Every structure is written in structure tokens, then in C-alpha cells.
Structure 1
Amino acid sequence: MKTLQNLIGGIWEDSRSDAFHEVINPATEEVVARCPSGSPEDVRQAVDAAAQAQPAWAALPVAERVARLCRWADTIADHADELAEIECREMGKPVALGRTFIAGATQGFKAAVTEALDYRFEETITGPDGSGTTILRRPLGATAIIVPWNFPVPMALGALGPLLAAGNTVVLKPSERSPMSAVRLLELMDLPAGVVNLVLGDSRAGAPLVADERIGLVHFTGSVEAGRRVGAESGALLHRSILELGGKDPVVVDAGVDPVATAAAVAFGAFVNTGQICTSMERIYVHREIAEEFVDALVDVAGTFALGDGHDESTVLGPLVDRRQRDIVVRHVNDAVERGATIRAGGTVPEGKGFFYPATVLTGVDGSMLVMTEETFGPLAPVAVVSSFEEGLEKAAGTRFGLAATVYTNDPAHMVSARGIPAGVVWVNQWQGGGPERLYEPAGDSGMGATGSRAAYDAATRPVSIHVAPAAPAAPGAPGAPSTLDASGTLGAPGAPSAPSA
């Protein structure tokens, strides 16, 4: 059993913490690593290293930063199988699935950092009098990334790319439930010491990292409760935060679509990664006209999601990350059944070791049930029947969350009306559709802060305007010399209108 170490200033070293916890393989319940719980001293040294490395990293030409980051991405791609195997051991994701997501995340990382070559880090606007205003987008300095346990490598890569390409340095804190893949990810890195640092632990590392006054931005993905604390701490310091929090994503299935094909697509969106995706399909509203055929097909597809250890290539559904997460799923299912829902597939904890739970289809659900109001994060497909597409949209919007939503329809007018769903991303006829140019901001309790494409670079930089007049002012008393103060106290020429900065 390996005891994991921090990476600080290019050196792998033991934590200053004297507390540790065990990382458990959720398929076998065996201990696979020993992770430190974190300490303020670990964080202080990591932020020191990031702050010291940042000026030299920012001074490199953008093209050189991009080239170095792209070489790292190529190395990651070469080790996708290894990283996927580590994710399988620490959080249960099937290796085949993990490999696919890591390959996609690596391509996305390269696309995101390459976008820096076209981003306007400096732009000059010339006025009619010959004056010029130059807008510089400067890096924020040392930043922090806190990633969740469900996609440790892809989520880290998604946040790292624009921050690093823009000239920032990073302290990365993975979840204490899946830290091993992050360790290996940084072992594969060939960047200057201190550009990316790693601190391990739970809130004993996360809290002091967010509270460090030298951290210019915190990119946090996790629960709503933890996100509120991160946002409050960052706000108190007047620092930025990007928060991607929970979701309770709806699906609206219109009349007129192929119920069998759509059921297959919905099953994938509900069950993939054992439902442990922020944008999993967690509320399904299907039109009455096709509901019976849709549900029958969904039940059939659910039966094909074979449970097992993710190292077996035939496994489709791995375990939940731990017993605590499975207990949440069981509680939501039991609550739904007690309130009148019907289990059409799954719904029973299998015997034996591992935190497994089968692909489960529920019907007869309503808005009083936990499975329709609280994030489940498990392989559940709760289906409610609606009388019209408009009713489906209304119910889809009836939530405090607003991460993403999916609509299946062949009606052009309904495709347009789907735009009104209050979510950061709305997918029409293709869950997880869109390319690297996509940008969004979650709504409601699902978070805050726009990200993706150019928005990620806007968030990673601070704009500074530098105005240069065509000539220096005349000497005091000479014609044209400034002689008055406007109402705001800004020096201005006599009789000239003023537009001082707020």
C-alpha cells in the first residue's frame, strides 16, 4: 500500500499532516493507498511555490507556454490506459469508459490551450484624436483548482488548460476519495518547478487553500454546500471563484420521436459512470403519447448494463464510489417507493463485496420525492409522464438547480422553446453535444462563473486599460493647460465633459 505525497515546487514530499485516511477500491473494498488528510502548512508551502514560479512562467511567450502544455497533453494521451486503470481502482469507473473520457479530455485540453494563440491578451483601440487605449489581459497569479472524485483526470485537465496557458500557476487539490490519478497525472508533467503543485487532503487542505489571500481565483467543482463556503470565502477576500456545483438535470421527451432509440440515449445519459456525473439525466419527463413504449424500452436497456469490476472489459456499470454514496441512492429509491413510485428495473442492492447498485428505472414519480428534488448521483432513471411538451418544459424548469438540460423533439417550434429552460447548457437531441467553443454559466444552485472557450480566458485574466494621449500636457499657465477639477474630483480641461471611471 502506497502512501501518497504532495508535489511542491517540483519536489515530491511527505505531508506535514499526521492524519491519514485509506483509499478503498469500491469494487473489492480493498485498501489501495494511504492519503494524507492535509494541513495548512502543506498549503502554505504549495502557494509559496506557485507564487514564486508565476512571474517566470508568465514571462514566457504565449507560444512557448502552449507548446509545453501540448507536449504534456501528448504524454497524458500516451498513458491514458494507465490513468484509466488508476481511476478504476480508486473510484470504480470501468477502464474502457475511463480511457474514452481521458482521451477526450486530453484533446479538449490541447484545444483549450491552443486557443491562447488567438486570444487577445493585448488590444489597442485608437481614438479619433490619435490617442490610444491598450487593453492588457494579465494573469491573476497563483490560482487553485479543487476537483471532484467522479472524473479526477478530465476535470483537472479542463480547469488547468486556460489557467496555465494564460500565465497563471496552480495549486491542485484532488478529492481525498480519488487522489491517486492526480498524483500520476503530475508525475507525467514536464513543466517548470512550481507551475503546478499538488496538495492532498480533505477540507483540512481545501479550506486553507481557499482562504489563502495570495490565491487570485478558485476553480471549484463539488457539492452545493461546499461551493457556498468556497464562494463566501473567496468573496470575503474579493477574489474570483468559478463554481460548478450540483445538478438535477431534466430530460423532456416529446411526442413524435422514436421512443426506442430515445430510450437508449436516455439510458446512457442516466446510467453511464454509474450515474455519477453532474449532468446525469436525473429527471425524465416523457409525453403521454409515447410513454408506455418509451418506458418498456428503457427497462429493456437497463437490463443490459452489466455490473462488475471495471477491469473487466465487459463491465458497463461499475460500483458507486463508496458505501456512503450507495446509501444515498438506496435512501432515494426507498423514499420514492414509500411515496407511491414503482420499481420497473433494478432497485435492489446486490449481494457480495463492492458498492454496486443496478441500473434502476422508476415510474409513478412526482415532485414530492427525493429522487426528483435532490441530486442522487447514482444509476437511477425516474420517469414522470406529462400531457404536453409545454408541461414537460414547465416541470424541467421547476428546480433550484440549473446545470444542464436535454430535450428530444422533432418539432422545430419546440426546439426553439427549449431555449427557455433556465440552465447553463441545453442540449437538443444530443446529450453532451457541442465542441470546444462551448461556453456557459450554471444557473441557480448549480454554481456561478462563466467558463469554456474565451470565457475561460476572461476568467483567467484581469483586464487593464492603459490610455496614451497624443501629446504631453502643456506647462502650468500655458494655453491649453488643465485648470479645473470636475465634480468627481478628476482633473479636466475647462468646459470639457468628463467620464471618470467609477
Structure 2
Amino acid sequence: MRTAKNLIDGVWADTARDALLDVVDPATEEVIARAPAGCAADVDRAVAAAVAAQPAWAALPVAERVARIGAWADAIAAHADELADIERREMGKPLDLGRSFIEGSAAGLKLAAERALSYAFEETLPHEDGETRIVRHPLGATAVITPWNFPVAILLSALGPLLAAGNTVVVKPSEHSPLSAVRLCELLTLPDGVVNLVLGDARAGVPLAEHDRIQLVHFTGSVASGREVGAASGRRLHRAVLELGGKDAVVVDAGVDVKSTAAAVALGAFLNTGQICTSMERVYVHQDIAEEFTDALVAAAAAYAPGEVLGPLVDERQRDTVHRHVTDAVERGATVRTGGEKAPGKGYFYPPTVLTGVDDSMLVMTEETFGPLAPVAVVADFAEGLKRAADSRFGLAATVYTRDADHVAAAARLPAALVWINQWQGNSPEMIWEPAGDSGTGATGANAAYDAATRPSSVIVAAADQGRGE
């Protein structure tokens, strides 16, 4: 049985505490490895290594940092199959899905790092009395705490700007999915101490988020944990970028192609077994097409077979949460059109589930489910759908399907970090976003990620003749 180790200053090190956690394959319920439970002593060593390595890393020319990061991205892409298999075993992601996201995230890491070549780390602004030089400095040692649902992709999306800007990092992956992070660090092509890895649960996460030598915490995870990270950052007066939960709505207008739109919503609701922060978790459909759309959505759900296209949920607790949301809806009058029961046998599988007759008081419409559910509510018109989509304490993403230009314009006003119109998961290299409400805080993407990874200062220089006597 393999026991994973921490990576501190380029050395694979045993934990300072004996406690270990089981890493469980959610498809078989078998223990496949063990990893440290984590402790403050491990965190202290990792942070000290990051602090010590940061000045030399920041002193390298930007182009050299970018080249080193790009070489690592290339190594990751070359091992995409292997990393996808690790993700499959530690959190249940189907191989093809895992491979595509790993390849995409490796390319994204390289692209994000290359943005440093054009980012204005220094800028001179002349004025009548002289000039102001704006200099953006790296923050220092930073922390990246990642969830289990996309262990490689989410980690790499955070690292590019932090590293290219001259910061060093301590990584703390989810205790459910530590093995992919270990393999990523085995592939490192960066100087020792630039990226350090500490494994564990809250016993590692809490002291890392609260550490007084960490200058920024980039956290992706639950709302409850994000609140704790934000509070800790406030006490230490260091930055926090928080991407937390979502309860993303989709509004389906009259006049759309019903069959293709239903297939798109099935993908948005069931991909990765619904374990995506931006999964479609509330579906509002115009009454004129509601019956036809729901029938098409039920038919599309049949393509997501558990154990084949659909992987397991990450653990029994998560499957119980999904089923509790279904049970609550049914007890309060909803109808299960397909699915709705735990799959028999080994593994934490749950079938794609379509519910109708839901209202906005049910758990399935108010709390993040993070499972393969598509609750469908019928609305009288597009305006009602938009209003109900906006009425949520979350504000991560939303999707709208419409052929009406006025409705497209109205959809852009939804209070969400990302609004997709007539597509889902589309992106642009220039996009920036910041979650609203309980979905988090801190802008990221494109240059905003570099703004978050640097601290600006201004050097005001008087004109040459200023201060001279007559």
C-alpha cells in the first residue's frame, strides 16, 4: 500500500505526525493509498521553504520563469493519460473526460504564464512635475488549496499567474484526491522550493490558510470552508481569492431548438456526475415548450449510464446529500421523471435524475447539490425565468438559451461571474470574472489574475529641475 509524502524544498518528506488518511476509489470502495492527515509542523516547513526560495525565483527574468513553467506544462501534457487514470482512481472521473481537461489545463497553464511577457510589471506615466513609475511586485509565498472534483485542472488554473509573477506556492490538495497532485509535483521542472506540497485535511488546510508568512490564499471549495479561509485572511491581512459553491441556473426560452437544447442541458447537469462548480442545477423552461423539453431531457439522460459515461460520486456522504435533495423534493410534491434511486452494488453511483414540479423553496433549488440532478421548473415567460434565476444567494454562473436579441441583452444583467448564452463552458483568453454572493470573492482570469498576484507601488520622481535653487 503506497503512502504519499509531502514535497518540501524539493525533497519528498514524511509527515511530522503519524496520522494517515485512506484514499478510496469511489467506484470500488477500495483503499488504494494512504496520505498524511496533515499538521501545523508540516505547513511550517513548507511555508519556510517557499519563503526562502521566493527571492531567487522572483529575481529570474520574466522570460526565464515563463520558459520554466512552460516546460512543466509540456511534461504534464505528455503524461495526460497517466494523470487521467490517477484521477479516475482517486475521485472517479471517466478517463476520456479527465484526459481532455488535463490536456486543456496544461495548455492553459502555459498560456497564462506567457501572459506575463506582456503584462505591465512596470509602467512609467509622465506628468507636468515629473513622472510616476508604477511597479507591481510579487506578493511572496502564497497558498493554493484545491478541491477534489477537478484536482489537476483547478490547481493548474491557479498556478500560472502566481508563479509567472514571481511568487512561490504551497499547494494543499483535497484529502480525497492527493495522488494527482503528488504526480504533478514529481513532474516539476522548477527550482526547489518554488512549489511545495502539503497533504492532509483541515489539519493541514487551517494552519496554511492562517499562516502569518503566507501573503495570498487561493481557495476553491465549499462555502463553509471558504468563509473560514476568508476570516483567517482578514485576521492576517493577507489576500484571499475564493471560488466557492454555486447553484447555477439555466433559462430556456420559447423558440429554441428543443432537442439540441435539452441535450446541452443534460450535458451541463450530468457531466462529471454533476460535480462541477458551474453545473446546471436549476432549469427554468418557458411554458410553451416545457412538456416537449422535459421529454427530450429525460431521453437525453438515458445516454449517461452510471459506470460507463457517468462516474461515481466522490464518496458516500456526497451521494447521501444528492439523495437527500431528491427525497426532500419528492416529499414536497416533485415528480421523478427518471433516476432518483441509489445505484445498487459497489461504488457511490447515482443515476442521472430529472425532477419536475419543483419550486424554489426545495433543497434541490436552493442548496448546492453537486450531483447528477436536473430539476425543471416551468415559467410563464422569459422575464419570470430570468427573475427566478437571479433570485439566489449564489452568483457563480448562469446559462441562457434564446433566439431573441432583447432577451440576450437582458441575460447579460444576471448577477453571476460567468453568463453563457446559447452555449455552456465557452471561454476566451481575455475573460475575467469575480463570483457574487456566497459563490466567493476576488477577480481572476487574464490580467486580473496578475493584478491579484502582485502588489502595486508608485515611485514618484520629480522633474530634473524641481528642487533647484535660483
The reply to whether TM is greater than 0.5 is yes
- Closer, same or farther: CA 54–410 of 1 in aligned 2, 3 Å: same
SS state of the match for residue 32, structure 1? Answer: strand
Letter in 1 for 2:49: A
Q: What are the Cα deviations for residues 260-299 of structure 1, in whole angstroms up to 9, with x where unaligned?
A: 1000000000000000000000000000111111100100
Letter in 1 for 2:390: A
In the alignment, which residue of structure 2 is the partner of 1:57?
57
In the alignment, which residue of structure 2 is the partner of 1:192?
191
Alignment identity in percent?
Answer: 68
In the alignment, which residue of structure 1 is the partner of 2:14?
14
In the alignment, which residue of structure 2 is the partner of 1:442?
435
Question: In 1, distance between residues paired with 2:285 and 2:12?
Answer: 53
Question: In 2, distance between residues paired with 1:20 and 1:332?
Answer: 32
In the alignment, which residue of structure 2 is the partner of 1:145?
144
Question: In 1, distance between residues paired with 2:23 and 2:236?
Answer: 33
Question: In 2, distance between residues paired with 1:473 and 1:412?
Answer: 58
Letter in 2 for 1:255: A
2:283 maps to 1:284: yes
SS state of the match for residue 84, structure 2? Answer: helix
Query: Where in structure 1 do 4 or more consecutive aligned residues deviate above 2 Å?
Result: 471-475
SS state of the match for residue 225, structure 2? Answer: helix
How much does 1:136 deviate?
0.4
2:448 maps to 1:455: yes
Letter in 1 for 2:47: V
Question: In 1, distance between residues paired with 2:197 and 2:230?
Answer: 21
Which ranges in structure 1 are unaligned for 5 or more consecutive residues?
309-314, 480-502
Question: In 1, distance between residues paired with 2:104 and 2:288?
Answer: 37
How much does 1:431 deviate?
0.6
2:342 maps to 1:349: yes
Larger radius of gyration: 1
In the alignment, which residue of structure 1 is the partner of 2:4?
4
Question: In 1, distance between residues paired with 2:179 and 2:211?
Answer: 25
406, 423, 429: which is aligned to 1:413? 406
In the alignment, which residue of structure 2 is the partner of 1:171?
170
Question: In 1, distance between residues paired with 2:312 and 2:464?
Answer: 70
Letter in 1 for 2:401: Y
In the alignment, which residue of structure 1 is the partner of 2:30?
30
In the alignment, which residue of structure 1 is the partner of 2:327?
334
In the alignment, which residue of structure 1 is the partner of 2:243?
244
How much does 1:367 deviate?
1.1
How much does 1:369 deviate?
0.6
In the alignment, which residue of structure 2 is the partner of 1:487?
none
- Closer, same or farther: CA 69–474 of 1 in aligned 2, 3 Å: closer
Letter in 1 for 2:361: S
SS state of the match for residue 289, structure 1? Answer: coil
SS state of the match for residue 426, structure 1? Answer: strand
In the alignment, which residue of structure 2 is the partner of 1:468?
461
In the alignment, which residue of structure 2 is the partner of 1:500?
none
Question: In 2, distance between residues paired with 1:417 and 1:386?
Answer: 16
Q: What are the Cα deviations for residues 353-408 of structure 1, in whole angstroms up to 9, with x where unaligned?
A: 00000000000000121000000000000000001000000000111000000000
Length, aligned pairs only? 470
How much does 1:128 deviate?
2.4
Letter in 2 for 1:438: M
| Segment of structure 1 superposing worse, 74-83 or 12-21 | 12-21
In the alignment, which residue of structure 2 is the partner of 1:113?
113
Question: In 2, distance between residues paired with 1:54 and 1:82?
Answer: 30
In the alignment, which residue of structure 2 is the partner of 1:102?
102
Question: In 2, distance between residues paired with 1:474 and 1:379?
Answer: 70
Question: In 2, distance between residues paired with 1:72 and 1:435?
Answer: 23
In the alignment, which residue of structure 2 is the partner of 1:398?
391
Q: What are the Cα deviations for residues 44-65 of structure 1, in whole angstroms up to 9, with x where unaligned?
A: 0000000000000000000000
2:43 maps to 1:43: yes
Written as runs of structure 1 = structure 2, the 5 A alignment for 1:478-493 is none
In the alignment, which residue of structure 2 is the partner of 1:364?
357
How much does 1:106 deviate?
1.0
How much does 1:474 deviate?
4.6
How much does 1:471 deviate?
3.3
Letter in 2 for 1:74: D
How much does 1:436 deviate?
2.1
Letter in 2 for 1:356: F
SS state of the match for residue 416, structure 2? Answer: coil
Question: In 1, distance between residues paired with 2:127 and 2:344?
Answer: 74
Question: In 2, distance between residues paired with 1:62 and 1:70?
Answer: 12
The normalised TM-score by structure 2 is: 0.99
Q: What are the Cα deviations for residues 463-496 of structure 1, in whole angstroms up to 9, with x where unaligned?
A: 0100111237658xx66xxxxxxxxxxxxxxxxx
